[in-house]
Amino acid sequence: MELKADLTLDAKGLSCPIPLLKTKQFINKIKLGEVLEVLGTHPGSKNDLPGWFARAGREFLEAKDESGFLDFLSAEENNKY
């Protein structure tokens, strides 16, 4: 099943640590069962975002490397996908 984002954060072109800082701001905008998509181009995000999602109590759903940018999906811990 393909996951669909409820909210998308476009962090493409932003250098570290800005994608992570913006993700911290946006994550509070999603509710239980919703999915946040983070789009980025900074290579450090491949390690930073999945680790931060786990520490923040969010479920890391997937990461894709598409057309020169990174696509991360995260949700509330109790998401039923």
Interval 12-51: pLDDT, tens: 999 989 999 999 998 888 888 888 999 999 888 888 999 9
- CA 18 – CA 1 distance, rounded (Å): 31
Whether the per-residue pLDDT at 81 is higher than 60: the answer is no
- Residue 24 placed within a domain: yes
Interacting residues of 54 by C-beta distance below 8 A, sequence separation 6+: 60
Q: Which residues are bridge partners to 72 per DSSP? A: 38, 63
Query: What CATH number should be reported for the domain holding residue 36?
Result: 3.30.110.40
Residue 26 confidence (pLDDT): 87
The active-site residue, picked from 16, 21, 32, 54, is 16
- Residue 46 placed within a domain: yes
Does the annotation mark 16 as catalytic? Answer: yes
Whether the per-residue pLDDT at 1 is higher than 80: the answer is no
Whether the per-residue pLDDT at 76 is higher than 80: the answer is no
pTM of the model as a whole: 0.83
Number of domains forming the structure of the chain: 1
Question: Which structural domain range is residue 59 located in?
Answer: 13-76
